Amino acid sequence: MSANKHHVTIKGVKDGLVFLLDDTCEFSDVLAELKHKLEKTHQQILTGPIIHVHVKLGSRAVTEEQKEQVRSIISCRGNLLVQSVETQDPSLERTEPDPGNVKLVRGMVRSGQTLSHEGNILFLGDVNPGGTILSSGSIYIMGSLRGMAHAGVDGDEKAVIAASHMRPTQLRIAGIISRPPDEWDLSDSFDTYMEFAYVKDGKMEIDKIHHLYKFGLFGRT
């Protein structure tokens, strides 16, 4: 690693952080500096609420495996959530999220916070009242959903929203908005089944999680 040139530059922006990765050096040098900064010199960004991260690769041509290496290094650092890994090379097609792929995120979404993700997300934690979770794919919450959840934000009506404890202020799938919570027939008993929401004939429906197999693991096929 050059003493005069940084291969990784971290900048704060309005909605989180941007990681600028040098496209003129060896990829291994970029990964080494990325690990060093997150482990040694930038620990202060690894505490507190969830921070959204956008990664810019410059004009470097990379494989999906190399992109995943970058995501893995950043995502394992607690509260950092990778939103995008982008290249400026116009010859490289931007791949759509794989419907069979799911991103695991741990934490808590507090009032006033928004957690957004591209693709399917499995969230281990609670979404508190006033908190929001957004995804272009399906949302699976292993915890209480007491805030707002919006799946299929890009228009995918096949997306679903599931939660261990379904008490949201509002649900949205694509452009479909749920009925008010007080109109739902949801039990308050502790032995209630995990529930999920889906769109049928243009309307939001709620069902028990054991019926999710009809839709495919991550939305309908």
What domains does the chain contain, in order, with CATH numbers? 8-86 (3.30.160), 102-215 (2.160.20.70)
Average pLDDT over residues 2-18: 73
Residue given tokens 């089944």 in the structure block: 193
Residue 221 has pLDDT above 80, yes or no: no
Please give the helix or strand (H or E) that residue 195 lies within, else none: strand 195-200
Instruction: Give the residue, 33 or 40, on which the prediction is more confident.
Output: 33
pLDDT in tens, 65-117: 888 999 888 887 667 888 888 876 444 344 444 545 788 999 999 999 999 88
Cβ distance 79 to 49 under 8 Å? yes
* Residues 137, 205: Cα–Cα separation, whole Å: 17
Please report the pLDDT score of residue 89 as a whole number.
47
Residue 180 confidence (pLDDT): 62
Q: Give residue 23's pLDDT.
A: 87
pLDDT of 183 > 60? The answer is no
Checking 143-152 for CB contacts under 8 A at 24+ apart, the result is: 147/109, 147/111, 148/172
Higher pLDDT, residue 217 or 111: 111
- pLDDT at position 83 is 86
Kindly give, in sequence order, each residue whose CB lies less than 8 Å from that of residue 175, ignoring residues fewer than 6 positions away.
155
Which residue, chain included where needed, has tokens 């889906």? 198
Residue 91: helix, strand or coil by DSSP? Answer: coil
Pairing of strands 120-124, 139-145: parallel
Highest mean pLDDT among 27-41, 106-120, 186-200: 106-120
Q: Of 160, 17, 138, whose CA–CA distance to 83 is shortest?
A: 17
**Overall pTM > 0.85:** no
98 contacts: CB under 8 Å, gap ≥ 6: 119
168-200: b (≥16 Cβ within 10 Å) or e: bbebbbbebebeeeeebeeeeeeeeebbbbbbe
